[in-house]
Chain A
Amino acid sequence: MANRGARVMGNLNILYVEDDPRAADAVQALLCRDGDRLAWEQTGTAGLQRAGAEAFDVIILDRMLPDIDGLTIVSRLRGAGVGTPVLMLSALGRSENRIEGLEAGVDDYLAKPYEPQELVARVRALHRRSGGAVHGAVIIYGAFECHTKARTAFRAGKHIPLSPREFALFRYFMENAGETVTREMLLRDVWNMNFDPQTNVVDVNIGRLRRKLEDGFATPALETIWGAGYRLTRGE
């Protein structure tokens, strides 16, 4: 049984390889605000050396660097046995660009322009995933319970009937309890889509789940983080 009560906040040791100082300033301000330590390198060569020499929790890597392509850097790191999770931040945001990144060994891919909160959420999720958290048969977060084998959901001991796709969504929120889950993460991890449909399929599916989780309760179950995504509350 896993209790996901504690949110993973700052204090991450992050390597950021980016040649654009303005973009670097923005990211630096964003992450340092949450208490993370950010080591910034402007070239691929320097980033590669530093990634091999020091231990980092997460590497944020720009794809188009002046000296070495970001994909090459990831391939070399993986080839050298460096398994630090890599979030690629790139101006190339098409489906095939993402696939190229993931095939090269990148763990997550975020296209520019992005919402600052989305970057933070992705970095946190990436670090959490790399921790290798293994969820048991029951995940508990606040008033919520997710019985993964029985595929049943409870809030404050009350059974909440969910359809299979609603349960898959609920389970994803429970696995990322307390953290911001972005639309792109949902599309990628729940529906296996690496593009954003033109219509509001994500919002509608979230809306349905939200109504079921909140039916008969006075407090919200899901909160919308503007510009970033959604977060499961403790439901208490």
Chain B
Amino acid sequence: MTAARSRKRSIFGQLTAASIVIAVLAVVVLFAVTTITVQRQTRASLAATVATDMAGLIDIYASGGREELLRRVADRQAVVSLETRRSHYLVADGSGRALGGDQRRWPQINAAQSEQGFITLADGTAVFAQGTRLSPDLQLLVAREYASDQAALMVLSAAFLGVGAAIIAGVALVAWITARHLARRMNAVNAALGAAADGRSASFPARQRGGDEIDEMAGHGTRLLARQAQLLKAYKQVSEHVAHEVRTPLMHLDHQLGAMMLQQPEPSGAHGGGPLALAREDIRGIATMLDSLLDIASAESRRGDLAGLAQIDLSQLLENLAELYEDSADEAGLMLETAIAPGITLLGERMQITRLVSNLLDNAIKYVPAGGHVRLSLVAGPRLVVEDDGPGIPRDQHERVFQRFARATVPGDKPGHGLGLALSRAIAERHGMLLRLGDVPRGAQFILEPAP
């Protein structure tokens, strides 16, 4: 997995990104609300100023008439105002011809309706203005520039953006540091769990000051490991004691039988030994069966456990086994053929894989009648196949033969405990492989390949 992908999938990376997005959205929304509010306030303030001025001039016209109005408008323009908003006036007749004020042309504003709003004067100045018809042949325009309000808004916006950017950067930094810290702790917990799952030695990170959810999880992990170790120890103790308690009396019995045979040698029977020799064979059979059962349990308990596995040269291992079994096959009247691709390796336990393949070859040699063929092949994958042209195994028993004590009901069945294939499958699964029977028209085909 690449670093970029792991960052993308990391919940901490996503949290950092989400924090930044939320901070950006918050700043943008706040900026928009503030700007709109300021603009509204500015408009209201402009409208109130213009309306007040207009009301004053209307009063003057009402009390002093047209000449008084022109004089007062001229006065107002002559006075240096302390207001930051510069004033503009126009007193015009009914057709819009200028009679007084600093403006010469009536703008696009309806005096009959006392309209007010943002307009641009003839000289290009942007103002907020109100026009009013004082009499059928007299109309008045009062306007205020608002450039200073816009400049103030720009300053406010710049300040807001600066502070907003700092907030976003701050949030991103805090989120990144926090996420990194949390990710490091989570990775340590993950690594410990991964090591435990692979059968490697694992230890969870120490508790932080105060303790939090990750500490709690690490604590549970530690307890889980301890419990797993305890169970494995108990399993090992039980299996060792069972083996010891069964094998010890068997050994005594075996020695007694051996001593009896020494005192009174028995003639060879039809199977190459008398009753005492056969009894001793049975004793060894029981010990072998017990070992096989424990080997199956051990392989099953270590399924997916990588501890003790190493890269082995599977091609070489098979070549050696084929060489060892060549004479046995020959002796049984069989032709052992091989097609082993060179240089194929496997992460595995050499002895276990040797045992697995030996079991398959043993089976073939036991069940294929003289004149038959046994073929051992290996291709990349790795895919190992042991096939023969013997009696085969009925399709409905393809899964059953891999169960403990299960034996295929085929003609010419040989004595045994029915544990070899169960052990082979358990070994395969311990290596992350699958051992199965292939569907072939003739004979048996055992396939070992990586589990899907």
Contact = CB atoms under 8 A, between A and B. Distances in A.
Interface string B242-274: 011011101111110010000000000000000
A92 interface: yes
Interface residues of A, number: 35
A197 B362 contact: yes
Contact of B294 (A22, A94, A195): A94
A94 B320 CA distance: 22
Interface residues of B, number: 40
Given A20-B248, A92-B243, A93-B243, A200 B351 contact: no
A113 B359 contact: no
B248 A112 contact: yes
A197 B361 CA distance: 10
B34 interface: no
A191 B324 CA distance: 8
Contacts of A201: 324-325, 327-328
A96 B240 contact: no
B291 A197 contact: no
Which of A94, A113, A205, A227 has the most CB atoms of chain B within a 10 A radius of its CB?
A113
Interface string A152-173: 0000000000000100000000
Interface in A179-235: 191-201, 204-205, 207-208, 227
A49 interface: no
Contact of A94 (B298, B324, B361, B366): B298
Contacts of A192: 320, 354
B247 A93 contact: yes
A195 B355 contact: yes
Contacts of B362: 197-199
Prevailing SS type, chain A contact patch:
loop
B345 interface: no
Contact of B283 (A26, A93, A95, A113): A113
A113 B287 contact: yes
A223 B324 CA distance: 21
A112 B298 contact: no
B351 A194 contact: yes
A99 B355 CA distance: 14
B323 A113 contact: no
Contact of A92 (B244, B283, B416): B244
A165 B319 CA distance: 12
A198 B420 contact: yes
A89 to B, nearest CB: 10
B416 A198 contact: yes
B305 interface: no
Contacts of A91: 243-244, 246-248, 251
Contacts of A39: none
Given A92-B244, A95-B351, A204 B287 contact: no
Contacts of A125: none
A200 B323 CA distance: 14
A23 B324 contact: no
Most central of A26, A91, A112 by chain B CB within 10 Å: A91
Given A201-B325, A208-B327, A195 B243 contact: no
A136 to B, nearest CB: 27
Interface in B337-369: 351-352, 354-355, 358-359, 361-362, 365-366
Contacts of B291: 93-94
Contacts of A10: none
A5 interface: no
Contacts of A204: 327-328, 331
A35 interface: no
28 contacts: A23-B251, A23-B252, A26-B255, A91-B247, A94-B243, A94-B298, A95-B351, A95-B352, A95-B355, A96-B295, A111-B287, A112-B248, A112-B251, A113-B250, A113-B255, A116-B258, A165-B323, A191-B320, A193-B351, A193-B354, A193-B355, A198-B358, A198-B362, A199-B325, A199-B328, A201-B327, A201-B328, A205-B324
Given A91-B248, A112-B247, 12 more contacts: A20-B248, A64-B244, A92-B243, A94-B243, A94-B294, A95-B351, A192-B320, A193-B355, A195-B355, A198-B362, A199-B365, A205-B327
